[in-house]
Structure 1
Amino acid sequence: MQHVPYGYKIENGKAVIDHEAASKIKELYRLYLSGLSLSNAAKVAGIKGYHSSIARILTNKHYLGDGYYPQIIDNDTFKQAETEKLRRAERLGRIREPSSKEENIKKYRFSMPTPKQLYDDPFIQSEYAYSLIESEVVKVGAE
Structure 2
Amino acid sequence: MTHTPYGYRIEGGKAVIDETAAGQVKELFDGYNSGLALTVAAERAGLKLYHASAKRMLQNEHYVGDEYYPAIVNSDVFNKANNEIRRRALALGRIKEYKEPLPPTPQTKFKMGRQTKFFDDPFAQAEYMYGLIESEVD
Report the TM-score when normalising by structure 2: 0.71
The total of aligned residue pairs comes to 106
Q: Which runs of 5+ in 1 are unaligned?
A: 108-143
CA deviations 1:21-72 (Å, max 9, x no partner) are: 1000000011101110001100111112222121111111111111110110
Q: Distance in 1 between matches of 2:93 and 2:5?
A: 30
For 1:34, the equivalent position in structure 2 comes to 34
Report the TM-score when normalising by structure 1: 0.68
What RMSD over aligned residues (CA atoms) do the two structures have, in Å?
A: 1.8
Regions of 4+ moved over 6 Å: none
For 1:95, the equivalent position in structure 2 comes to 95
For 1:80, the equivalent position in structure 2 comes to 80
| Structure (1 or 2) with the larger CA radius of gyration | 2
Q: Distance in 1 between matches of 2:97 and 2:51?
A: 23
Q: Which runs of 5+ in 2 are unaligned?
A: 106-138
For 2:64, the equivalent position in structure 1 comes to 64
* AA at the equivalent of 2:62: H
- Tell me whether 1:14 sits opposite 2:14 in the alignment: yes
For 1:118, the equivalent position in structure 2 comes to none
